[in-house]
Structure 1
Amino acid sequence: MVRKLALGLVACALVAGCKSKQTQSNENIETAPTGGQSTAIDSSPLSFDPMGSDSGKISGLVTVHFGYDKASLDSSAKKDIAANADWMKKNPGVKVQIEGHCDNRGTIEYNVALGERRANAVKSYMVSLGVAADRLSTISYGKEKPLDTADNEAAWAKNRRANFVPAQ
């Protein structure tokens, strides 16, 4: 009985493994042009900074820092966001992605959710200050892209942030 069951499981695994997979590369996919414009998909790779990204990627925007386990904006954060909103208004062609980050304490799932709340809090405040929402996108990296990998309060404070990078 056990032998038949094991044999049946092996047969199922072989059938599942042999099922053909249809893949398509999107490198040179091009749809029919509309209005004389090409709609080819840009296949250039996105850049990745293994040490994390920070506001230095866009001169004029500053990183917003948060307290431990907080996504609320204190007066210092609001001041930084107001300066960033003013910069965005003076540079109307720029779109940015707001990255939410956390320190390394807590679970991956918890920190991704907290990073998302941080990024969304910054975006909401910028929109309330007059920046168009379609110029801002958000992403959370949780604790996956620390600026400082040390295990102390100074490092954790650096990593609890929302920063700005060019939108791709």
Structure 2
Amino acid sequence: MAKLKTALILATMAVAVAGCQKKRPETLPPGPGAVDPGTAPGTGDNMGAAQPGTAAHFKQNIVSDTVLFGLDQYDIDADARRILDSQAQWLTQFPNTRITVEGHADERGTREYNLALGDRRANAAKNYLAARGVSAGRITTISYGKERPIALGSDEASWAQNRRAVTIVLN
């Protein structure tokens, strides 16, 4: 009888939590990529161009602001190096720009474990950028663990998107 009560309580909690999850929007915004500011409709003479040194300019001129990691990993692989090299190149052009590197994890694991893993991911990206000539004093890190997922599914494709470090330009 006690096992039945426990099972009913757990099932009720699972249904309650599942009902509270955010729904994925039907249409997603376009992914990061190069933007030609001169072709934006109604912009005239580069009125749509991002101001150099801004967050928008950063996103327009780098490969990506996001580095992805494997399960329980925080090492910088070849794809991450390509992304971080483009970020380092942009950051050396704007030496007064400060950034924050956010570390994230997927939903698996405890809150504490994922916060520590997110911290290791953010610091791995920070250390790589510093090794490429970006002053470490310009870079802060923060870990959100599993608290800010970008993909809301409970499958490998969603988890892979959530295992990341994101570079944010502070204006």
The partner residue of 1:116 within 93, 115, 119 is 119
Amino acid at match of 2:102: E
The partner residue of 1:87 within 64, 84, 90 is 90
**Rounded Cα–Cα distance in structure 2 between residues aligned with 1:167 and 1:84:** 14
**Rounded Cα–Cα distance in structure 2 between residues aligned with 1:157 and 1:87:** 26
Q: Which SS does the other structure have where 1:118 is aligned?
A: helix
Alpha-carbon displacement from aligned partner over 1:98-130 (angstroms, at most 9, x marks no partner): 000001000000000000000000000100000
The partner residue of 1:154 within 146, 154, 157 is 157
**Rounded Cα–Cα distance in structure 1 between residues aligned with 2:132 and 2:103:** 20
Q: Which SS does the other structure have where 1:122 is aligned?
A: helix
Instruction: State how 1:65-80 maps to structure 2 within 5 Å.
Output: 65-80=68-83
Give the equivalent residue in structure 2 for 1:7. Answer: none
**1:145 and 2:148 equivalent?**
yes
Instruction: State how 1:4-43 maps to structure 2 within 5 Å.
Output: none
Alpha-carbon displacement from aligned partner over 1:141-168 (angstroms, at most 9, x marks no partner): 0000000110111111110100012337
TM (norm. structure 2) is 0.63
The partner residue of 2:133 within 130, 134, 148 is 130
Give the equivalent residue in structure 2 for 1:100. Answer: 103
Alpha-carbon displacement from aligned partner over 1:49-89 (angstroms, at most 9, x marks no partner): xx9xxx96552352111011101111111111111100111
Q: State how many pairs are aligned.
A: 115
TM (norm. structure 1) is 0.64
Indicate if the aligned counterparts of 1:102 and 1:115 stay in contact, CA closer than 8 A. yes
Q: How much has 1:91 moved relative to structure 2? A: 1.7
Give runs of ≥4 in structure 1 deviating > 6 Å.
none
RMSD (Å) for aligned C-alpha atoms:
1.9
Which consecutive residues of structure 1, in runs of 5 or more, have no partner in the other structure? 1-50
**Rounded Cα–Cα distance in structure 2 between residues aligned with 1:136 and 1:124:** 9
**Rounded Cα–Cα distance in structure 1 between residues aligned with 2:159 and 2:90:** 28
